[in-house]
Amino acid sequence: MTETATVRRSRLTPEREAELYAAVLDLLREVGYDALTMDAVAARTRSSKATLYRQWGGKAELVAKAMRSNKPHTNIADVDTGSLRGDLHTLVSSTDDSAMEQNNALMRGLAMAVHSNPDLLKAFRELIIEPEMMEIRRVVQRAVDRGEVRQDNPAVEYVLHMFVGAFVARGMIDDQPPTQSFLRSYLDAVVLPALGVSTTP
């Protein structure tokens, strides 16, 4: 057996990868980014640090990929309901309340870390922010193509800001976790009117 074949055979199965990502997210919620060590991940998942470094390169990359794995696998931008309101409500409904609160806890735990760690910020932007931006751009572009939204509406550039803002502000202002029902209400009250779209179903 060649060394190449051995290396290939040592790649993780999708199930094992999912198990590792889940353990990383659990640790992140428990101790936060700064206190999370590759040793702790290796111990929790009964794997070797060498495997972790070979597969992910480092802690920032592993954490970012684990966060990304937490997203539903359906590409929401493929779902065309025929209206911007329908598409955005589908987007909100794709994450259930308990997953939303878990995401919220992760965002809190990462808030300081992404600003003091350029590798993590880069991974966070490439793996979390940019795919979200692309999905929202596709959905909004379909609305422009349908004639629902004007291409030059200045709110088009701020759709993700509006969503991220509502998500983060919900806890700080209302001391409540973000939920689907809150985000649906915010969508109809703020996002769609800012885009000039009627919120009558």
Q: Does 150 bind a copy of itself (CB under 8 A)?
A: no
d(CA 156, CA 141): 9
CA dihedral of residues 162, 167, 173, 179 (deg, nearest 10): 130
111 contributes a contact to a copy of itself by CB under 8 A: yes
Q: From the CB of 45, what's the least distance to a copy of itself, in Å?
A: 24
Give the nearer residue to a copy of itself in terms of CB position, either 21 or 167. 167
Residues of 12-40 as b/e, b for ≥16 C-beta within 10 angstroms?
A: eeeeeeeebbebbbebbeeebbeebeeee
d(CA 169, CA 167): 6
Residue 193 binding a copy of itself, by CB under 8 A = yes
Does an H or E element contain 112, and which? helix 97-116
Kindly indicate which of the ranges 6-14, 22-30, 86-94, 190-198 contains the residues binding a copy of itself, using the contact rule CB under 8 A.
Answer: 190-198
Half-sphere exposure of 13 (CA within 13 A, CB side): 3
Q: How many residues bind a copy of itself (CB under 8 A)?
A: 40
Stretch of 19-27, 39-47, 67-75, 122-130 contacting a copy of itself, by CB under 8 A:
122-130
- Check binding of 165 to a copy of itself (CB under 8 A): yes
Q: Is residue 169 within the footprint of a copy of itself (CB under 8 A)?
A: yes
Number of Cβ within 10 Å of residue 10's Cβ equals 10
Residue 90-109 contact track with a copy of itself, rule CB under 8 A, x = bound? ---------------x--xx
CB of 153 to a copy of itself, least distance (A): 8
Helices (H), 47-190: 49-56, 59-69, 84-93, 97-116, 118-124, 130-146, 159-174, 180-186
Which chain residues interact with a copy of itself by CB under 8 A? 32, 105, 108-109, 111-112, 114-115, 121, 124-125, 129, 133, 153-155, 157-158, 160-162, 164-173, 175, 185-186, 188-190, 193-194, 196
